Amino acid sequence: MRVGLEVDGKARTADDVEVGESLLFLLRERLGLPGSKNACEQGECGSCTVYLDDEAVCACLVAAGQADGRRVVTVAGLSGDDGLHPVQQAFLDAGAVQCGFCTPGLVVAVHDLLRRTPDPGDAEIREALAGNLCRCTGYEKIFDAVRAAAR
C-alpha cells in the first residue's frame, strides 16, 4: 500500500508498505529518517517517541497505515536550521546525553511535557518520563535538563 504523510513539515510518500509495518519502520527504513530509535519495538522504552498529530506516541506501536494523511514530528523536526531547541540545548548543558540512544525519544517526551506543564515538579517529571528508558544516565541529569529547560 501507499502511505502519504507529513514528516517534520515535509510531505512524504512511501510505496509497498506492508500491512503490519510500523510507523517506526516506515520512518527509518522506507523514508531513511533514522532519528527515531529502534530499541525495543514493543512500546516499553520510548526511544521512538514522535508526535503523531499533536500527541507524543511510540512510533513502533503505530501501524504505518494509521499514519496515512497525518502529521508526524520527530526529534529532527524540533530544531530549526538556526540551532537547537531549548530542550535539546538543556540536554547538552546538563550532560544528560551518554550513549544517546534514548535521547531522541526523551527530547520529544520532554518537549511534550513542558508544552503541557511549563514548570513541572519532580514527581510530575518522573511520571511523565516513565515511558522512556535510559540505561546510561540513571536519569538524574535528564531531570536536571528538564528543570533547566523549564526555566
Partner 1 sequence: MTTVAPPAAPAVTRTPDGVGEAARRPDGIAKVRGDFAFSSDLRHDRMVWGATVRSPHVHARIVTVEVDEALAMPGVRAVLTAVDVPGVNRFGLEQRDQPVLADDVVRYAGEPVAVVAADDPETARRAVERVRVTYEPLPALTDPEIALSGDGPPLHEGGNLVRHLRIRRGAPRAGAAVVVTGEYEVGMQDQAFLGPESCLALPAADGGVELHCSTQWLHVDQEQLAACLALPPDRVRLTLAGVGGAFGGREDLSVQAHACLLALRTGRPARMVYGREESFVGHVHRHPARMRYEHGADADGRLLYVKADILLDGGAYASTSHAVAGNAGCFAVGPYEVPSVEIDCRAVYTNNPPCGAMRGFGAVQVCFGYESQMDKLAAAVGIDPVEVRLRNAVATGSMMATGQRIEGPAPVAELLRRVEEMPLPPSLPASGGADVRLLPGGVANTTHGEGVRRGVGYGVSVKNICKSGGYDDFGTARVRVGVAGDEIVASVHTAAAEVGQGLVTVQAQIVRTELEIPSVVVLPADTAVGDAGTSSASRQTWMSGGAVRQACVAVRGRLLDRAATALAEPVTGLRLAGGRIVSDRSGQSVDLRDLLAVEDVDETAVFRHRTTEPLDPETGQGDAHVAYAFAAHRAVVDVDVELGLVRVVEVACAQDVGKAINPPAVEGQMHGGIAQGVGLAVMEEIKVRDGRILNPSFTDYLIPTTMDMPSTRLDILELPRADSPYGLTGVGEPPLLSAPAAIAAAIRAATGREVPRIPVTPDALTS
Partner 2 sequence: MTDTAAFLRPATLDEACELKAAHPDATPIAGGTDLMVGLNFGHTRPAALLDLTAVPELRAWRRTDDAVELGAGVPYARVVAELGDDLPGLARASRTVGSPQIRRRGTVGGNIGTSSPAGDALPSLLADRAVIEVRSVRGVRQVPAGEFFLGPGRNVLADDEIVVSVRLPRARGPQQFAKVGTRNAMVIAVASVAVSLDLTANAVACAVGSAAPTVVVPEPAETYAADHLDWSGRTPLHPEVAARFGELVAEGTSPIDDVRASADYRRHAVSVVARRLLGWAWAEAVRPRGTEGTR
Considering all CA atoms of the chain, what is the largest pairwise distance in Å, rounded to the nearest integer? 46
What is the nearest approach in angstroms of partner 2 to the Cβ of residue 63? 6
Give ∠ CA 60-63-64 in degrees, rounded to 5. 100
Single residue of 39, 43, 93, 144 touching partner 2 by CB under 8 A = 43
| Cell reading at 117 | 506543564
Cα–Cα distance, 89 to 52 (Å, whole number): 23
What is the nearest approach in angstroms of partner 1 to the Cβ of residue 62? 17
Q: Does 66 bind partner 2 (CB under 8 A)?
A: yes
Which of 102-121 are b and which e, b meaning 16 or more Cβ less than 10 Å from the residue's Cβ?
bbbbbbbbbbbbbeeeeebe
What is the nearest approach in angstroms of partner 2 to the Cβ of residue 24? 8
Q: Give how many residues touch partner 2 by CB under 8 A.
A: 30
Nearer to partner 1, 52 or 75 (CB): 75
Binding residues vs partner 2 (CB under 8 A): 1, 16, 18-22, 41-44, 46, 49, 55-58, 60-63, 65-66, 68, 109, 127-128, 130-132
